[in-house]
């Protein structure tokens, strides 16, 4: 008997990066989500990544270092902290859960 899952997307909810210890590690916890209802049907973890993901992680770490320099050095520069384009999927300053991030089918937020 063939079975169909009730989720249609896997969404990373938490990532832990450790570049201090060797070897460095990136661990993500993700949810199996139905984007029509916002329901979570389970969780998973991942510890192995593609070369593309590792390259983007390095870019993220570099950008985070720039933000920290802007915060902690008088001559750190003029780039605005947390300046992200609207609709980029970037994190917002207001904490929210997975359901709020994904929205529900009837709240007017585009799904998927």
| Model pLDDT for residues 51-80, shown as the tens digit of each residue | 999 999 999 999 999 888 888 888 766 565
Above 70 in pLDDT, residue 39?
yes
Kindly state the percentage of the chain with pLDDT values over 70.
67
How much is the pLDDT for 87? 46
Token pair for 24 = 């460095």
How much is the pLDDT for 71? 86
How much is the pLDDT for 86? 47
Above 70 in pLDDT, residue 20?
yes
Place of tokens 């510890």: 47
Q: What is the mean pLDDT of the segment spanning 2-25?
A: 94
Mean pLDDT of the chain: 80
Question: Which strands sit side by side in the sheet containing 9-18, from one edge to the other?
Answer: 9-18, 25-33, 40-46
CA–CA distance, 91 with 107 (Å, rounded to integer): 19
Q: What is the mean pLDDT of the segment spanning 15-34?
A: 95
Q: Beta strand pairing status for 9-18 and 40-46? A: unpaired
């Amino acid at each position: 008997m063939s079975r169909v899952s009730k989720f249609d997307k896997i969404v990373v909810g938490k990532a832990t990066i450790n570049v201090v210890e060797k070897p460095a590690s990136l661990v993500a916890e993700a949810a199996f989500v139905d984007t029509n209802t916002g329901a979570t049907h389970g969780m998973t973890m991942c510890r192995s990544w593609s070369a593309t993901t590792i390259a983007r992680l390095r870019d993220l770490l570099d950008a985070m270092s720039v933000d920290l320099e802007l915060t902690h050095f008088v001559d750190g520069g003029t780039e605005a902290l947390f300046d992200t384009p609207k609709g980029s999927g970037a994190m917002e300053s207001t904490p929210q859960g997975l359901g709020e991030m994904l929205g529900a089918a009837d709240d007017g937020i585009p799904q998927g």
